[in-house]
Amino acid sequence: MTLPLSQIARIGAYTLTQHIKGGKYPLVLMLEPLFRCNLACPGCGKIDYPDPILNQRMSYEQCMEAIDECGAPAVSIAGGEPLLHKDMARIVKGYIAKKKLVILCTNALLLKKKIDEYEPSPFFTWSIHLDGDKQMHDHAVDLDGTYEIAIDAIKLAKSKGFRVQVNCTVFDGADSERLATFFDEMESLGVEITISPGYAYERAADQEHFFNRERTKKFFRDVFARGNGGKDWTFTNSPLFLDFLAGNQTYECTPWSMPLRTIFGWQKPCYLLGEGYVATFKELMEGTDWEKYGVGKYEKCSNCMTHCGFEGTAATDAIRHPLKMFKVGRNGVKTDGPMAPDVDLTAARPAEDVYSSHVELELAKIKAADPEGFKRVQRAA
């Protein structure tokens, strides 16, 4: 089930209006209202915090303020595991009441238990974390049996009339043939796919299995070649982003297009890279030195090709060159021939060791608000 036309028109109109106005604008609010999760994936950069931090939740009011502040037409709620947040159904309803497109990302372990708290809506999509077929996914999340749970959850949600997509992150060592077969299976279930290479989060336990740029491009060419240039499958990603993954576009990232709000505040500069936090969206937009970040500018960005960084660029490119986008959409992604030149990485400034003072500050705040509770959590950890 693709996005309803009314939603495509709404987001298209917003993007076009913002583009005409000029300046920087967000497309999707990335909301992480908690970091606690019921899995511990080795490639996750979100769950490596002390228990008092993992126990924090953004309130309903803070979640509503975040979308009002940034004005994005859509919100993607992740974490941590959002279904562990006791107010999550209310938060989703609040966003829908504001006519925001809501994508609720979950590893699906709690979906069966919680699904009746939610109602199908053209504004609401379940996004199930599924990193490939059974062996690939269970390996990526480091727990046997999660693939079957996710597939059952997809079938259950679809049977109840919900819109469902899968969120698939690909790591080095993935097998293109198996990934293509997995996409066939998702297509047969009537499920759209959001695809992205993983980003090497500094806080991820496993630093070995992230793609570099060359491997990413070759891998995606190989995958798309097995599915008619990608046309055999239904992606939520834009055609030009898929074309970029296959090495056919030279793009700089648009780090403000998917800004991240967490319990620490707004993350600078982008969803992937945490180099400080600010209290307001305005401070993020006006106080970040955007020129310091991006592929070719900063070593930590060198291998980034993720959808959070580059979908915004693909959207701008589609507005500027609609015929190019239609051509890729109609013909599929080019999977052979020379690739587009890539950004020169040689002048990128070296990675800085950014001190994580936000963690200490948050811990101090939690301790000051409830010294006894803080001690209890510390003792139990």
Residues of this chain that interact with ligand SF4 (CB under 6 A) are 37, 39-41, 44, 46-47, 79-81, 107, 129, 141, 253, 255, 269-270, 272-273, 293-295, 301, 304, 309
- 105 φ, ψ (degrees, to nearest 5): -90, 130
Q: Do you know the residue count of the chain?
A: 381
| CA separation for the pair 19, 316 (Å, rounded) | 8
In order of 38, 80, 170, 232, 267, the CA distances from 255 in angstroms are 29, 21, 20, 30, 11
For the bound state, the minimum distance from the C-beta of residue 83 to ligand SF4, rounded and expressed in Å, comes to: 11
Would you say 163 and 124 are in contact if contact means Cβ atoms under 8 Å apart? Answer: yes
Compare residues 123 and 271 and give the one whose CB is closer to ligand SF4: 271
Measured from each CB, the residue nearest to ligand SF4 is 309
| CA separation for the pair 199, 301 (Å, rounded) | 9
Compare residues 111 and 272 and give the one whose CB is closer to ligand SF4: 272
For the bound state, the minimum distance from the C-beta of residue 78 to ligand SF4, rounded and expressed in Å, comes to: 7
For the bound state, the minimum distance from the C-beta of residue 273 to ligand SF4, rounded and expressed in Å, comes to: 4
Compare residues 197 and 239 and give the one whose CB is closer to ligand SF4: 197
For the bound state, the minimum distance from the C-beta of residue 148 to ligand SF4, rounded and expressed in Å, comes to: 16
For the bound state, the minimum distance from the C-beta of residue 98 to ligand SF4, rounded and expressed in Å, comes to: 25
Compare residues 210 and 293 and give the one whose CB is closer to ligand SF4: 293
Compare residues 136 and 225 and give the one whose CB is closer to ligand SF4: 136
For the bound state, the minimum distance from the C-beta of residue 229 to ligand SF4, rounded and expressed in Å, comes to: 26
Q: Which phi-psi region, left, alpha or beta, contains residue 343 (left: φ > 0; alpha: ψ -120 to 50)?
A: beta
Compare residues 3 and 278 and give the one whose CB is closer to ligand SF4: 278
- Tokens of residue 266, six digits: 């707004």
Give the distance from CA 149 to its chain's centroid: 21
Compare residues 139 and 226 and give the one whose CB is closer to ligand SF4: 139
For the bound state, the minimum distance from the C-beta of residue 232 to ligand SF4, rounded and expressed in Å, comes to: 27
Sign of the C-alpha dihedral computed for residues 298, 300, 305 and 307 taken in this order: negative
